[in-house]
Amino acid sequence: MAELPGSEARPSYLAYLVSFSSIGAVWFAHMVITEYLDRATPVLIQLNLILLMVVAFLPFPTRLLGEFIGASNAERVATTVFGINLLLTAVLVWVLWRYAVHAGLVRPDVTDEDLKTLNKRLTPSVGAYVVMIVLGLFLPVVAVFGYLVIAVFILVPFRATRHRSPHT
C-alpha cells in the first residue's frame, strides 16, 4: 500500500503543534501572572530564568517525539521525556505565581476573587501532566494529544482571567 506524500513527516508536525501550543500556554500564563504584579524581586527574576531554561529545553524532547512516535518502546520514552519537560514548566509557573503571592508582589488592586481564579487555572495542569505522563507509558500517542488538550485548556479560558487595564 502506497503512503501519502509527507506522511513520514506527520509525527514531526504533531510534535511541533503540541510543542508550540505548550510554549504558547506557558507564555500566556506567564503574561497573565505578570499583569497582576506590582513589582519584582531578585528571587522572582531567578525563578523566571529557571522557567526560561526549562522552556528553552523543549525543542530537544520535541525532536525526540517527532522522531520516535510510532517506534514502539522508543515512543514511550520520548513521550515521557516530553511530558516531564511540560510538567516542569507547569510546576515552575505555579511556583512563580505562589512566590509572587506569598512575597506580596501582587498589585494592591487585585481582588481575592482574581487570585482564586488564577490559582484554580494554574493548579490543574500540574496534575493533568502527571496523568498524561503515566498514560504515555501505555498509550503514548493518546498522551501526546492529551498534552495538546492541556495547552488548549490553559490558553482558551485565560482570556476570562486577564485583568482589565483601567485604560480599557
What is the pLDDT at residue 7? 57
pLDDT tens for each residue of 54-98? 999 999 999 999 999 888 789 999 999 999 999 999 999 999 999
**Residues 119, 150: Cα–Cα separation, whole Å:** 16
pLDDT tens for each residue of 97-107? 999 999 999 99
pLDDT tens for each residue of 13-51? 999 999 999 999 999 999 999 999 999 999 999 999 999
For residue 46, CA distances in Å to 38, 40, 42, 135, 168 come to: 17, 10, 6, 33, 32
Point out which residues pair with 123 in neighbouring strands: none
- pTM of the predicted model over 0.95: no
